[in-house]
């Protein structure tokens, strides 16, 4: 029988102008069935009553959690806030949760921690997300990501359903989920993931040069460890008027900028063993990615090489690598 090791989990919450939602997010952590948690909340200079709402729960949090750290600071942006949160974490695992659009299921941390405890080669585990509206009511998406309340009118019952539809090339329940090469097309990881901190500590800090923090995170973590998808709703994703994902033009620009930065990261560290392992693992998928038209990072070309005019090579950031097939 599995015995819960009860490793410390650091729950990290960045907040900014989320006075209507922040208490709901914090309460979802208070209600976790997993016991050993430290809660760290940093408010990035909110102009509304967000920090006041946070402090209203301080006494309850201090009774519930192993350690509590609340603070507010001058507005510096998401990147600086994420890096400060991470620097304060002392847990075996870390769990980022936004203060506006995320609520954790009561058993989420318990289920995820049990998986990472038993599977040391995995650096991240995540479950599916259900949708809720601005009032916390369960809802669904139609094909155009509009909120609907009838399953009969729904195109997607969960966020996972939508992500799977967009990435039909990946079986979420297979070992391909979370492979480095899969992120070169786009990010597809749901919200509410638990990360092994020993792996997180190996990757670069968040940077404004890679403005999609979650995408940047997955591009780095996937070089070091495996990902696991639990096909069960462990998270509620609030769909409201201010979700960043709704700004398509901004998302496209941020995606490209993040990929540009990843180009620089890999080019600088191409000889680092962890990067080489991830990059060379991608070689066998080169033909697939030529077909998909993945952006600039990888491409297959034919070169004359002695008498072999048909030999294939994979060009990775200017490095010419011979393919076996």
Q: What's this model's pTM, rounded to 2 decimal places? A: 0.85
Q: What is the DSSP string of 98-126?
A: -TTTEEE-TTHHHHHHHHHHH-TTEEEEE
Beta strands at 93-96 and 9-15: parallel, antiparallel or unpaired: parallel
Q: Out of 3.90.550.10, 3.40.50.300, 2.40.420.20, 3.10.580.10, which CATH number does the structure's domain 1-100 have?
A: 3.90.550.10
- C-alpha pair distances (Å), 222 with each of 195, 199, 218, 242: 11, 10, 6, 29
Pair 127, 190: CB distance under 8 Å? yes
Per-residue model confidence as pLDDT tens digits over 251-298: 889 998 998 888 788 767 765 666 666 665 665 554 444 433 443 334
Angle at 236 (CA atoms; ends 174, 137), nearest 5 degrees:
140
Residues 113-131 have pLDDT tens digits of 999 999 999 999 999 999 9
- What sign has the CA pseudo-torsion 34, 39, 44, 50? positive
**Domain boundaries along the sequence of the chain:** 1-100, 283-322
Structure confidence at residue 263 (pLDDT): 77
């Amino acid at each position: 029988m599995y015995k819960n090791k009860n490793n410390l989990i650091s729950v990290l919450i960045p907040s900014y102008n989320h006075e209507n939602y922040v208490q709901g997010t914090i309460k979802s952590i208070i209600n976790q069935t997993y016991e050993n948690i430290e809660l760290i909340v940093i408010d990035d200079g909110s102009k509304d009553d967000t920090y006041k709402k946070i402090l209203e729960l301080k006494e309850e949090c201090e009774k519930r959690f192993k350690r509590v750290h609340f603070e507010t600071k001058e507005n510096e942006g998401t990147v600086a806030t994420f890096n400060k949160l991470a620097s304060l974490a002392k847990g075996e695992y870390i769990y980022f949760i936004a203060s506006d659009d995320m609520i954790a299921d009561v058993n989420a941390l318990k289920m995820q921690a049990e998986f990472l405890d038993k599977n040391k080669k995995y650096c991240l585990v995540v479950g599916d997300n259900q949708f809720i509206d601005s009032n916390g009511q369960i809802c669904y998406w139609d094909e155009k990501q509009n909120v609907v309340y009838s399953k009969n009118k729904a195109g997607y019952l969960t966020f996972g359903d939508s992500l799977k539809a967009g990435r039909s090339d990946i079986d979420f329940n297979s070992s391909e989920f979370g492979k480095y090469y899969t992120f070169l097309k786009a990010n597809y990881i749901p919200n509410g993931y638990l990360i092994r901190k020993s792996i997180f500590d190996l990757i670069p800090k968040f940077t404004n040069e890679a403005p999609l923090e979650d995408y940047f995170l997955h591009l780095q973590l996937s070089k070091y460890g495996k990902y696991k998808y639990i096909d069960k709703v462990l998270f509620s994703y609030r769909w409201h008027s201010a979700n960043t994902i709704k700004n398509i033009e901004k998302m496209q620009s941020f995606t490209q900028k993040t990929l540009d930065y990843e180009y620089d990261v890999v080019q600088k560290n191409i000889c680092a063993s962890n990067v080489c392992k991830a990059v060379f693992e991608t070689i066998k998928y080169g033909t697939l990615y030529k077909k998909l038209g993945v952006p600039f990072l990888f491409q297959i070309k034919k070169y004359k090489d002695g008498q072999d005019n048909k030999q294939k090579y994979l060009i990775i950031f200017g490095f010419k690598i011979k393919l076996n097939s």
